[in-house]
Amino acid sequence: MATIMEVNFSKYADGLAPAIIQDSVTDKVLMLGFMNQEALDQTQAEGKVTFYSRSRRKLWTKGEESGNFLLVKGISVDCDQDALLIKALPLGPVCHTGADTCWNEKNHREDFLVGLEEIIESRRLEASPNKSYVADLFSKGLNKIAQKVGEEAVELVIEAKDHNDELFLNEAADLLFHYLILLNAKGNNLQDVVDVLKRRHNRISYSSSNF
């Protein structure tokens, strides 16, 4: 498997290799751009996708004017070492027309919790604590976030002892929401927890037992 240091930019007369941008969550192809070594180096260094503009003949970071950056989650090179696949988290519509993708497709997030995790991530990175509850909570640090999860857990237990389903479900939603914030603050996400459960399930299954 080629590494990102082995891209063969010299294969093309203009020294530019195609870079396919794919949503790291939905796997939807978002756009196609071109990179030279300098654009790739800046992309790696800053964590935001940077291309080389063939029309303007200079580097440009996607979202530098609109704010709709592409946050890099992974970079790989194809088997011929002449094309890049970049998985990224888009912070808004990708196409200059305002569409989700440059093929005018909807970038569906069918799993609501995955979409909610994206919102939490974007609030942590971009929002002002004065305008966002999530950003404000992040600004207060990990201890405050953990404390909030504990408070919501206690409130859920209290409602579980009562018979008001609406209040119970609302407290359950509050706990889940703050739990997702805590996971993000620790550098994890819900899929990481699911993976742990899957590994446990597999080990138990091999021993002919159940959860």
CATH number of the structural domain spanning residue 42: 3.10.20.810
Nearest to 34 by CA among 6, 14, 4: 14
The Cα 26–Cα 37 span in angstroms is: 28
Range of the domain at 29: 4-90
Q: Are residues 82 and 121 in the same domain?
A: no
Q: Does residue 52 carry a pLDDT above 50?
A: yes
Q: Are residues 25 and 75 in the same domain?
A: yes
Average pLDDT estimate for 66-94: 94
Q: Which two tokens stand for residue 30?
A: 């978002």
Whole-prediction pTM = 0.54
Q: Are residues 153 and 82 in the same domain?
A: no
Interior angle at CA 16, CA 13 and CA 20, nearest 5: 135
CATH code, domain carrying 192: 1.10.287.1080
Q: In the predicted model, what is the mean pLDDT of the chain? A: 91
**Number of domains the chain is built from:** 2
Q: Are residues 74 and 141 in the same domain?
A: no
Q: Does residue 20 carry a pLDDT above 70?
A: yes
- pLDDT score recorded for residue 205: 58
Range list of H helices, the chain: 37-46, 112-126, 133-139, 142-160, 165-185, 190-206
Q: Does residue 211 carry a pLDDT above 80?
A: no
In which band, very low, low, confident or very high, does the pLDDT at 106 lie, cut at 50, 70 and 90? confident
